[in-house]
Structure 1
Amino acid sequence: MTRPPTFELIVRGGTLVLPNGEHHADLGIVNGQIVDIAPELPGSAAQTLDASGLHVFPGLLDAHVHLNEPGRTHWEGFETGTRALAAGGVSSFFDMPLNSSPPVLGRATFDEKRALGEQKSLLDFGLWGGLTPLNLDRLDELADAGVIGFKAFMSNSGLDEFPAVDDAALYEGLKTAQRLGLVVATHAESDQLTRHFTEQARGRGAASVREYLNTRPVVAELEAVQRALLYAGELGAALHLVHLSSGQAVALAVEARAKGVNVSIETCPHYLHFTDEDVERIGAALKCAPPLRPQGVQDELWTALLAGQIDIIGSDHSPAPPDRKTSDNFFALWGGISGAQSTLNVLLTDGHFRRGLPLEAVAALTALHPAQRFGLLQKGALRAGADADFAVVDLGREFTLRREDLHDRWQQNPYVGARWRGAVQATYVRGQPVYADGQFDGAGRAKLLRPG
C-alpha cells in the first residue's frame, strides 16, 4: 500500500497564479522547494498555511533596487530595504552597484557587499557590477565573483565615483560582457543632450520642477536607446534597457528585437502611475531620471505594456535622507523614488483592476521574466522543482497607504495616500516566512543569486 506523502509545508485552498492562468490548488513544499501542485493534496504536513479566499503569486524578483550598503546605509540598507520589499511581496532582488560607497567596481567591493547582504538581508539577492570607464579591466573579476550582470550609465549618475560611459567604454563593455555571457543594463539618456539642456537652464537661474523636467526630454532617451541597441546588435551582446519612460523608447527596442538584437525592456511602477503634473504637485519624492512624463506618453507606455512588449517591471527604489530631498531648487535635489513596497499594488490596482491586465501577466512581469532573463531557473514561477518563493495576497482587500505602513528607512514613498486593491498578507522565501502578519524574520538565511 502506497503511503501518502509527507510535506514540510502545505499551502492549502488558495488560487495559484501560474504562467497559464489562475488555478485553485495546493502547494506541497519540502526542503524549501515546491515538490507538488494539485487540488486537495493528499498527505500530511508539519505546517499548513490556509490560503482560502486568497491568491498565491510567485514571489516578486525586483531586478532594480538601490540599497546603498555599505557606505550609505543611512540612505537605505539591507535590513530596512528588504523589509519594505518583503512587505510588498518581493522574495528576491538585484542590488545596483551604486549608491553604495565604494561602488561595486571590483572583486573586493563585491565581496564586501555580498557579506553584508548574507548577514542582513531577509531575501535572496543578486548583485549588479558596475560598468564605467574606470573598471573596464575588472569586468572579468566581477564575473568570476558572481555578478548578475553589469550596469552602465549613459548620462551623469550623480556620483563622481561612478562616471558615465562614453561611446568607447560602452562598446568595449558590451564586447566583454558578450564574451562573459552576461547582460549589460543601461540607463539610457544622452549625456550630451541632458548636460546641454541642464547647463542652459541653470545658466539662466532655473530652479523649478517644470524647468527640470524640460532638461530631460524624451528625445534624450530615444537617442541613447538607439545607440545602445546599435552597439548590442553589432556585438551580439545581451542588453537590458532599464526604466524606459516612453512608449517610443519601447517601440525602438521592440523593432530592434524583431531584427535579432538580444534586448530586454524594463519600466517602473512610477512611470505607469504618475505623470509630470504629479511631480509639480508632490515635489521632491517624485524627482527621478528619466523624469515622469505627460499623460499622453504614459498612455503609450500602458499600451505597450498591455500589448506584451515590456518584459520586466522593477521598482528602481532609490532613497535618500530627507536633507537630500529638501531644497527650493529642484535641480539640487537627489533624484530617486522610494517605491520598494508598492510595485505589486500599482500593477494590481492600476493594471489588473482598472485596465484588465491578467494576473498571470503581473506575475510574468515581476517574477517569471526577470528570472528567465538572468538564468535563475529556480526562481520566478510556482512549479514543481522551483524554490518555494511566494506571496499570499488578498485581492478583495482595499486600503489606503499610510506612511506608518511603510518599512523602508525614510518612508518618503510618493504613493502615500493612494487607494490600493490587493494586500500582501505574507511573503515566503524558500518555504520560510520572511513577512507575515506585519512581522519579519529571516535575517542570515539569504542566498546569493548567480546568473544561470
Structure 2
Amino acid sequence: MSLVLKGGNVFIENEFKKVDIFIKDGKIEKLTNSEPLHNEKVVNVEGKYVIPSCIDPHVHIYKGKEDYLSASKAALCGGYTTIFLMPFGNGDSATSLKIYEKKKLSAKNELLIDFSIHAGATAINQLEIKELAENGVLTFKIFLPFSSHDFPTPENEYELIDVLNSISRVGGLALIHAENRVAIESFRKKFIMEGKTQPLDFMNSRPVLAEVEAVTNTILFANLTNCPIYFVHISTGTACEIINYAKQQNKTVFAETCPQYLVLNEEIYQEKGSLARVIPPIRSKEQQEKLWAHLINGTIDTIGTDHCPMPIREKSRNIFYSNNGIPGLETALSLLLNQVNQNKLSFERVIQLMSTNPAKIFGLFPNKGIIRKGSQADLCIIDMNKSAKISIDELYTKGEFTLYEGFKVKGVPIMTLFKGKIMMEDGFPGKINVIKNKTEYLKIKFDPKKLVN
C-alpha cells in the first residue's frame, strides 16, 4: 500500500514548502498538495517539519559494548537511516578485504538500516588498499595518535606520505584523525610523571597545538600526493582556520565535527570526570566559540556523532587510563535542533550538515540527502515545539551513561521512515518498529568533481 505524509512543511530545494509526500515501493513518488487520495495510508504531519533523514559518517560498534540491533534502534530514534562504520574492531580492524567482507556480512545481517564501512589505512597495508579499492572500497581511515597491533599507524611523515599516495592512486578519500602523536605521547608522560592526572589535565595533555599541527601537516602532504582528505571530529576552532585557508585554495578538504565539541566544554570534566574522556578531548569555551563560527561560515561540512558506547567499568578508571567513547546517535539531532530554537543555527544548515553534505561527499546523493521525486523515502519528521529531557534510561543504546543526562532540548524527531516504512514513531525517545526492510551495504562513489558546494 502507498503512504502519504499529509500537510507537513517539507524541505525541498533548500526551503520548506507545505506539500504532501506520496511514497510507493520505498521511493518518493510525487510531491504535491492537489492530488486526490485513493487507497493510500495517510499520516497527518500538519504543523511538523519533514526533512531527509540523517546520515552519520562516523560510528563505532564494538562487540560486547553495542550491537547492530541496538545501534539501529538508537539511530532510528535519532533520525538516522544511514550510518558509516569505522574500521576498528576487537582485534580485527578492517585493513584487509577478508576482514572487511566479514564485517560487511555481519552488519548486513543484523542492521535495520543502510550502512557502509570505512576501511583502515595503515603503515603496512598498501597492497590491501589496492585490493579493497578494486572491490569498491574508497574511504580509508588513518589514525595518527597511536598504534595497536592490528592497526599500525604511520610512525613518521614519510610513512604518512606513502599511505596518502596509496589512497590517491586508487582514487580514494583519506579520513584523518588529526592529533600529533609525538606531542600527545610526550605530554602524557610529562603529566603522569608530575602527578597531573585529574580530568582537566587530560584535556591539557592533548593540547590544541597537537590538532593544529596534524591538520597543517596532513594538508601539506595531501597536496603533495594529490589525495583528497576528510578530517574526522575536528575539535578546535584554530584547526578550522587552517582548513578554511586550504578550502580557499581550492583543495579537496572536508571537515567533520561532533555535538560534544559544540555543546560541551571543559566544565564537563569537573561534572563527569573520566566518563567525559573522548579523543580529541572536549575543549575550552574559547575554542568552542571559534568552532561555532566555522560551523556557521561553512568550514565544517558534516556533523558526525563518533558514537562509541563504553561500559562504565571501562570509563571509571583514572582518565589517563580509561577508555575513549560516548554514545551519540540518539541525541545528536535533538541537540542541534535545540540550537536552532535558540537562534544559534539555521534549520537549513542542520539539514545540510547532517544529511545533504554527507550524501554528496560519499556519493549517495540524490538517492539520499534530499527530498525529491525518485529519491529513497528516508525521512525524518520533526516537532520543533516538542521538548524532551535526555535520560540514559530512555535511550536504546547499550551505553550505560550519556554526558547529556538531564539536558532539556526543544525540537525532536518524532518519526523516522526508512524506505517508506515507519520505523520509529512517537519520539522522543520513540517506539521502534523492528522491520527487516532490505538493509543495503552502500558502495561509496567518491568523485571529487561532484562534491559539496
Q: TM-score range by the shorter chain?
A: over 0.9
Q: Which amino acid aligns with 2:9?
A: T
Tell me if structure 1 keeps the 8 A contact 2:358–2:369: yes
> What CA deviation, in whole Å up to 9, does each residue of 1:26-69 have, x standing for no partner?
1122221112112243343532222112111111000000012x
> In the TM superposition, what is the alpha-carbon distance from 1:285 to its structure 2 partner?
2.7
Cα separation, 2, equivalents of 1:358 and 1:19: 15
In 1, Cα distance between equivalents of 2:38 and 2:99: 46
The alpha carbon displacement at 1:148 in A equals 5.0
Query: Is the CA contact (8 Å cut-off) linking 2:5 and 2:43 kept in structure 1?
Result: yes
Partner of residue 86 from structure 1, selected from 76, 84, 88:
76
Q: Quick one: distance in 2 between partners of 1:355 and 1:129?
A: 38
Give 1:338-357 correspondences, 5 Å limit: 338-350=327-339, 352-357=340-345
Cα separation, 1, equivalents of 2:104 and 2:249: 38
Partner of 2:299: 309
Contact 1:126 1:148 in 2 (8 A): no
Write the letter of the residue equivalent to 1:51: V
| 1:39 and 2:33 matched | yes
Question: Matches of 1:132 and 1:169 in 2, distance apart?
Answer: 9
Show the counterpart of 1:198.
Answer: 188
> 2: distance between equivalents of 1:367 and 1:428?
14
Report the CA distance between 1:209 and its aligned residue: 0.6
* Structure 1 residue 145, shift from structure 2 partner: 3.5
Counterpart residue number, 2:444: 451
Task: Tell me the percent identity.
Answer: 28
2:131 alignment partner in structure 1: 141
Cα contact 2:82–2:115 (8 A) shared by 1? yes
Distance 1:41-1:151 versus aligned 2 partners, 3 A rule: farther
Give the distance between the partners of 1:19 and 1:192, measured in 2 at CA. 47
Report deviation, 1:255. 0.5
Provide the secondary structure at the position in 1 that maps to 2:116. strand
CA distance in 1, matches of 2:151, 2:285: 33
Q: Is the 8 A contact 2:259 2:303 kept in 1?
A: yes
SS at match of 1:25: strand
Verify the 8 A CA contact 2:28 2:376 in the aligned structure 1: yes
Contact 2:120 2:141 in 1 (8 A): yes
CA contact (8 A) 1:389 1:427 kept: yes
Q: CA 1:45 to 1:363, structure 2 compared with 1: closer, same or farther past 3 Å?
A: farther
Letter in 1 for 2:258: C
The answer to whether residue 47 in structure 2 is matched with residue 53 in structure 1 is yes
Distance 2:56 2:296 in 1: 20
Distance 1:20 1:277 in 2: 37
Runs of 4+ in structure 1 deviating by more than 4 angstroms, as ranges, are none
Provide structure 1 residue ranges, at least 5 long, that are not aligned to the other structure: 1-6
Equivalent residues of 2:337, 2:412 under 8 A apart: no
Per-residue CA distance 1:287-342 (angstroms, 9 max, x = gap)? 11111111111011111111222110000011222221111x21011011211111
SS at match of 1:230: helix
Does residue 415 of structure 2 align to residue 426 of structure 1?
Answer: yes
Shift of 1:245: 0.7
Q: Pick from 370, 385, 396: which aligns with 2:358?
A: 370
Q: Check 1:251–1:44 CA distance in 2 against 1; reply closer, same or farther (3 A cut).
A: farther
SS of corresponding position for 1:173: helix
Offset of 1:144 from its aligned partner? Answer: 3.1
Residue 208 of structure 1, aligned match among 160, 180, 198: 198
| 1:405 aligns to 2:394 (yes or no) | yes
* Cα deviation digits, residues 215-272 of structure 1 (max 9, x gap): 1010000000001111111222110011111111111111011112101111000000
Cα 1:335/1:250, change in 2 over 3 Å: same
TM-score where L is the length of structure 1 = 0.93
SS in 1 for 2:349: helix
2:8 to 7, 10, 14: 14
Structure 1 residues 385 and 100, CA gap change in structure 2 (3 angstroms): farther
Computed over aligned residues only, the root mean square deviation of the Cα atoms, in angstroms, reads 1.6
1:105 maps to what in 2? Answer: 95
User: What is residue 158 of structure 2 aligned with on the other side?
Assistant: 168
Distance in 2 between residues matched to 1:308 and 1:19, nearest whole Å: 18
Equivalent position SS for 1:413 = coil
The one-letter code sitting in structure 2 at the alignment partner of 1:212 is F
Q: Tell me what 1:380 maps to.
A: 369
Q: Quick check: 1:119–1:444 contact (8 Å CA) kept in 2?
A: no
Query: In the aligned structure 1, how far is the partner of 2:327 from the partner of 2:371?
Result: 28
TM-score (norm 2): 0.93
Q: How does 1:242-261 map to 2 (within 5 A)?
A: 242-261=232-251
In 1: Cα distance, 2:354 partner to 2:239 partner: 20
Q: Distance in 2 between matches of 1:288 and 1:192?
A: 19
Tell me the secondary structure at the aligned position of residue 245 of structure 1: coil
Rounded to whole Å, the distance in 2 between the matches of 1:204 and 1:19 is 57
CA–CA separation in structure 2 for the residues paired with 1:105 and 1:33: 35
Matches within 5 A, 1:313-324: 313-324=303-314
Shift of 1:442: 2.7
Render the CA deviation track for 1:156-213: whole Å, top value 9, x for unaligned.
16x4322322323322222222222221100000001001100111223332112211
SS at match of 2:119: strand
How many matched pairs?
A: 439
Residue 218 of structure 2 aligns with which residue?
Answer: 228
1:377-401 superposed Cα distances (whole Å, 9 cap, x missing partner): 2111111221111111111101111
**Which segment is superposed worse, 441-450 or 382-391?**
441-450
Task: Mark the CA change 1:117 to 1:451 in structure 2 (over 3 Å): closer, same or farther.
Answer: same
Q: Specify the alignment match of 2:448 in structure 1.
A: none
Q: Aligned letter for 2:56?
A: D
Amino acid of the structure 1 residue aligned with 2:376: D
Displacement of 1:433 after TM fit? 2.2
| Equivalent-residue separation in structure 1 for 2:138 and 2:72 (angstroms) | 18
Structure 1, 132-141 or 263-272: larger mean CA deviation: 132-141
